[in-house]
Amino acid sequence: MGSDDTYNFVYKVVLIGESGVGKSNLLSRFTKNEFNRDSRTTIGVEFSTRTVHLDHYSIKAQIWDTAGLERYRAITSAYYRGAVGALLVYDISKHLTYESAERWLKELYDHADPHIVVMLVGNKKDLEALRTVPKEEAETFAEKKGIMFTETSALDSTNVEAAFHDVLEGIHKKVASKQVTRGSISAAGLPGGIGPLGEANNNSKPCCKN
């Protein structure tokens, strides 16, 4: 885990999916290595950051969580604005949360950057005995949609690091290989210091929550 003080790029990644699938704990596991069994829903968008190193660059990942708003279909375009990565999370033990993936994808593509890097995440892998979503079914869905796929457990840390790393790496590859024009992949909303392809001035500070 790197320092949050110095970085070359800022990438905004959003967590989406139904309430109760473990988005907040995925966030806290990745950014703080913490898991809260009694986490309560907080209404209002929240985000945490973590700096990682990719391809000799320091990447500041700004991970946004819906924080309960998905219950009320209250997520607005402001939540998606500037996002260049997304983890679409469902609970492997609750098939209904998986069935909503198509709707979440549509909403994401309706509001986010068209070049956004997306990963379908089957969380709560620790509940294997209660599984209702076959891994093969989700893999096939992800392949059909052209998005990445993995299964995780925020409880025991399984694949959490890898999931976020793969999304960030996917974003960075698009930036580094110049597959997109300037501005198509952008840093999260910073008040100044944004250079080509989302490069951020080290003195920039994240903007306020929308």
Which among 40, 84, 49, 47 has a CA at the least distance from the CA of 66? 47
pLDDT computed for residue 1 by the predictor: 45
Mean pLDDT for the stretch of residues 176-182: 59
Instruction: Work out the mean pLDDT of the chain and round it to a whole number.
Output: 82
Q: Which CATH number fits domain 9-197: 3.40.50.300, 1.20.140.10, 3.30.2130.30, 3.40.190.10?
A: 3.40.50.300
User: How far, CA to CA in Å, does 152 sit from each of 50, 62, 143, 176?
Assistant: 19, 20, 18, 28
User: Per this entry, what is the length of the chain?
Assistant: 210
The confidence score (pLDDT) of residue 43 equals 56
What is the arrangement of strands in the sheet containing 117-123, beginning at the earlier edge strand?
A: 46-54, 57-65, 9-16, 83-91, 117-123, 148-151
Tokens of 66: 């819906």
Q: For residue 178, what pLDDT is reported?
A: 67
| pLDDT at site 6 | 81
Cα–Cα nearest to 155, from 74, 75, 93: 93
Rounded to a whole number, what is the distance in angstroms from the first to the last CA of the chain? 27
Question: pLDDT tens digits for 16-34?
Answer: 999 899 999 999 999 999 8
Instruction: For residue 189, name the pLDDT band (cuts at 50, 70, 90).
Output: very low
Closest CA to 57 of 189, 195, 157: 195
Asked whether the beta carbons of 14 and 86 are under 8 A apart, the reply is yes
Upper half-sphere CA count for residue 122 (Cβ side, 13 Å) = 26
At residue 148, the pLDDT reads: 98
Structural domain boundaries in the chain:
9-197
Structure tokens at 141: 């869905």
Of 97-101, 161-165, 173-177, 182-186, least confident by mean pLDDT is 182-186
Q: What tokens appear for 167 in the block?
A: 């999304």
Q: How many CB atoms lie within 10 A of CB 60?
A: 27
Using the predicted structure, report yes or no on whether residue 196 has a pLDDT greater than 60.
no
Task: Check the CA dihedral 180-208-155-129 and report its sign.
Answer: negative
The H or E element containing residue 149 is: strand 148-151
Helix then strand then coil, in percent of the chain rounded to 5, is: 35, 25, 40
